[in-house]
Structure 1
Amino acid sequence: MHPAQDHDDRPAALVIGAGPAGLMAAEMLGAAAIPVTLCEGRPSAARKFLMAGKSGLNLTKAEARPEFDAAYAEAADWLAPMLAACGPDAVQDWARGLGQEVFTGSSGRVFPVAMKASPLLRAWLARLAGQGMRLRTRWRWQGWDEDGALCFDTPEGPRRLRPGVTVLALGGASWARLGSDGAWAPILGAAGVELAPFQPANMGVLVDWSAHMAPHFGAPVKGIALMAGAQRVRAECVLSARGLEGGGIYAISRALREGAPLRLDLFPDLDAATLTCRLAARPARESGTNRLRKALRLSGVRLALVQELLRPVPRDAAVLASGLKALTVPLAGVAPLDEAISTAGGVRRCAVDDGLMLRARPGVFVAGEMLDWEAPTGGYLITGCLATGRHAGRAAADWLQRHR
């Protein structure tokens, strides 16, 4: 019998979690001619991946490595070898290899030409099936038994598997309805794995708007810069009934989560002196609203924000100009964990070796959002999941081959 031969209860390699990280780990194991069983707790694979693709699947960002890596903040040095092997160029080549052509938008973000996740996922699953991967859906992992077997709740009843090697890719703790519920954290914690607490990342912020703002709910706030702590980004956000959300907010979400005030520069291309001159040139008898409209062409949701957050609108031109350059938004908190696009926290760096194997559980590797790193939207999240999945899958294959 070949040492890597697969059996129903003793698969050569087991991957738990069929998101991008788990699928990439399975691909690496399959490429090493190791049979893979992939278990997914939901009825189908990659539900969060598919949901992300509904608004245009942002796979990566065409950006030079130093700038790209910087998006991962203090985790950048940890992820550097993984991103070197599976960075923006490699992700684009991988998508093309699945028959999905990509294009780069004006912001550097890279999308499939199809602008959807489903064609890419179908091609990916077909390739994995061709490698011999067996997908088991509605198999929810329950942890290990006293003999070290992995226990599952399945449609056919409880099952126990004793794989040669395991890769965990169970996601973070946001969007529980799509499978990322963080239920694995107590299991790993009980096994002696050091974990960082979950926190929301790429989440919206809460604001107690007055009724004056209701007509503008759902409106994009364009042509602004957003500031939090030392960060300043040129981006858009969206006004919602509960506060603000969207790419601009997500880009500074960590600073906001940590308590930095949110300020908006409504005129990032004009300095305060220019604004002051334009405002001062208007007739003294003119109302504050008319002065903003006529001197600065301010209207719509941006004007509504001034009326909401600078009440009463200052008459002094310099004071008003200063306010327009740093409009403070009084935050009532951040959106809850399950509403966040991603999460911070999870398996700490010290809990895994260089191959992402758990020090407390030899032969068990971890990938994707289970690991304690975070990054903004814009292609960084999916690239990070693919890169860590690739790294863990290759390390798991090497480990199994050494321990056959």
Structure 2
Amino acid sequence: MPLPPLVPPAAPLTADQARRYSRQLLLPQIGELGQRRLLAARVCVIGAGGLGAPALLYLAAAGVGTLGIVDDDVVETSNLQRQVIHGESDVGRPKVASAAASIGRLAASVRVISHPERLTSENAHTILGGYDLVLDGSDNFATRYLVADTCAELGLPLVWASILRFDAQVSVFWSTPPAESGIAGVQLRDLFAMQPTDAGAESCETAGVLGALCGQVGSIMAGEAIKLITGAGTPLLGRVLVLDALTARWTEVPLRPSQVDAARRHPITPARPPASAASCSAPSAPTPTAKLSVELSVELLERRLAAREHGSDDFLLIDVREPDEHARGTIDGSVLLPLADILTESGRSVLLRHRPVIVYCLHEGRARQAARALMVDGFDSVCVLEGGYANWSEHRPPTAPGVAE
């Protein structure tokens, strides 16, 4: 369902603005009024990296009037493979300065506010409170949850994405969407209730990432921001878009609100009220509390595998990693069903809903996503292996891949 425009319109367009944005003005869902809303909008982008780079460029090109950039890092040579807002001459330069210069060359009329600092609990409300909308392109769990929780408290919509290797996810979170939309508020903690630890987590630095995928996802983030600002189309609020670039397959997972961390559902008034006064209304009552997956220790899994071998336990152990990871070693007695398959209805259809399921990946991130999809689909018992295969392999030697049951 469409949402009302987030931002009131700026003054009528000048002749130069009408010429510059003429191709966008032709779109009836945006038009002259939508373009004026974009010119009045204030958008903050967390991170001028793989996701923030394309998002910033397309938001600037679209005519967003004010862009904030939060990043305390400098440009490195390894960034250039995907962070297209920077060039070779920018290596060693602060990312906020490099990004601001690129935006200036592309759209000199855009006001850029640089925040060359790390977002912390001390400055998050002050920084984010000055914007209408936030895009999160950060690269660590601590910042992601800080951004999400702060936006929930401020009542700000958040365009969120995550990317690694050839896989990506995109969604929109908003604790208090306008009541007339009939859409319940959802937050990051409705998708992943607890903040994982960054220790041992996979990252682009350790696992790699396809640069072109960053462009795809960053552009989608910019598109979602433009839709929210102008009221065009239906945003990804209450839906998680999942992309497997290797198979060029898009899937969608529904997201419903839970009552995890209910205190987060009492946001304070935004620094600048949205276009509709109803945006400040309390959200509709959440649906019943979502089931949460249970973590299973390596020791308990060993005991359950032994019991299954003797016929006193019955469960399906699923490796949700990619085939190349599975081929390098797996847990004896597990079957391979990559995350991208579990996120599709056809992929889940091969599983029996009444049979208990234990899922694992290298650490826990993908396994938690799989567990969430299974529980939303009605599976009764789902566990996640604590620490994943990395934790298992510290206790047990790897085995050759097994045959699917």
TM-score, normalised to structure 1's length? Answer: 0.31
User: RCO higher in 1 or 2 (8 Å CA, sep ≥ 6)?
Assistant: 1
Larger radius of gyration: 1
Query: Normalization by structure 2: what TM-score?
Result: 0.31
